[in-house]
Amino acid sequence: MKIIEAKDYNDMSRKAANILSAQVIMKPDCVLGLATGSTPVGAYRQLVERFEKGDLDFSQVKSVNLDEYKGLERTNDQSYYYFMHENLFNHVNIKEENTNVPNGMEPDAEKECARYEALIDSLGGVDLQLLGLGHNGHIGFNEPAEAFDKATHCVNLTERTIEANKRFFASADDVPRQAYTMGIGTIMRAKKILIIVSGEDKAEIVRDAFFGPVTPKVPASILQMHPDVTLVADAAALSKIPR
Ligand code: GLP
């Protein structure tokens, strides 16, 4: 794993955007795996700025998002579909038909998860997968578990994740209890992975995930086994790693 230390959140966002931009420039018709959460917002802003300057062209880029809440309409401002449009898709020249987010309104989990896996395969797999890191080590919505979930599946969110995400909803009761997420196997099949982390509150999980044992109890720890992972994290998030 390659670790790139950034000064702060803005610096992390710039460095992450550099890697995403390089991918788009080197392979204009690449498949980007995209993530939501507060961490990638700054990197998406950077990509929009570079697009506006004329330095980036998304006209042939395809995207697949990691996850989506089950039961939220696309028009709900907390859906990941909405988030992606607000933060990136509406501001660059990516074609709507080339963007993909799991369909949270499909009630048949098996059907939707099979569709999403087949879709990723039909695109030839993900060239560069962007990831954030949950406080409990989750990636996408792969929560700590007894075994790694391989394919796209429906998850029951943990209390900790519901707690962490409730700030975006009127109350904890409004946070959906389930989500569709790419599985660990889906994520691990990406050719390259870029994981971004910011803030002291993630310092312990950065240490456990990337310097501790590989275990499904810390889902991100599996990334230690991937041949091409770059961690871009700010100094605060790296403050507890062994030096
Ligand atoms: C959410 C998302 C993840 C994200 C994580 C961290 O629940 N499903 O994809 O990486 O939590 O979020 P944040 O970046 O806001 O800390």
30: number of CA atoms within 13 Å, CB side?
22
Q: Which two tokens stand for residue 71?
A: 């039961």
Under 8 Å between Cβ of 4 and 31: no
Q: Quote the tokens at residue 120.
A: 């990723």
pLDDT of 172-200, one tens digit each? 888 999 999 999 999 999 999 999 999 99
Band of residue 17 on the pLDDT scale cut at 50, 70, 90: very high
pLDDT on residue 118:
98
Residue 220 confidence (pLDDT): 98
Q: Which atom of ligand 1 is nearest to the CA of 202?
A: 16
Looking at residue 172, its pLDDT comes to 86
Q: Which residue has the tokens 């950034």?
A: 6
Atom of ligand 1 nearest to the CA of 66: 9
Strand partners, 218: 215
Mean pLDDT of the chain: 96
- Residues 68 and 101: beta-carbon distance below 8 Å: yes
Start-end of H helices in the chain = 9-26, 41-53, 80-87, 109-122, 159-165, 184-188, 203-211
d(CA 141, CA 170): 21
Ligand 1 pocket member 39 (CB < 6 A): yes
The strand pairing partners of 62, in sequence order, are 31
- pLDDT, greater one: 160 or 228: 228
User: What's the order of all strands across the beta sheet hosting 128-131?
Assistant: 2-6, 229-234, 192-197, 128-131, 31-34, 62-65, 99-100
Burial label, 89 (beta-carbon count in 10 A; 0-12, 13-18, 19+) = buried
- Residue 179: which of 159, 160, 152 has the closest Cα? 152
Residue 167 has a pLDDT of: 86
Ligand 1 centroid–CA 55 distance in Å is 28
Q: Is the pLDDT of residue 165 over 90?
A: no
Per-residue pLDDT at 158 = 86
Q: Please tell me if the CB atom of residue 206 comes closer than 6 angstroms to any atom of ligand 1.
A: no
Instruction: Determine if ligand 1 sits within 6 Å of the CB of residue 134.
Output: yes
Q: Which helix (H) or strand (E) holds 180?
A: strand 178-181
- pLDDT (average), residues 22-31: 98
Q: What is the distance in A from the centroid of ligand 1 to the CA of 150?
A: 19
Residues involved in catalysis:
67, 136, 138, 143
Q: From CA 162, how far away is CA 156, in angstroms rounded? A: 10
Contact 94, 58 (CB under 8 A): yes
Q: What is the pTM of this model?
A: 0.96
Residue 67 Cβ contacting ligand 1 at under 6 Å: yes
Question: Is residue 160 over pLDDT 90?
Answer: no
Q: What percent of the chain has pLDDT over 90?
A: 91
Q: Is 93 in the pocket of ligand 1 (CB under 6 A)?
A: no
Predicted confidence (pLDDT) per residue in 92-151, tens digit: 999 999 999 999 999 999 999 999 999 999 999 999 999 999 999 999 999 999 999 899
Residue 154, pLDDT above cutoff 90 = yes
pLDDT of residue 204: 98
Mean pLDDT of 10-29: 98
Residue 235 C-alpha to ligand 1 middle, in angstroms?
Answer: 19
Q: What is the spatial distance between Cα 150 and Cα 182, in angstroms, rounded to a whole number? A: 8
- Atom number of ligand 1 nearest to Cα 199: 16
CA of 161 to the centre of ligand 1 (A): 9
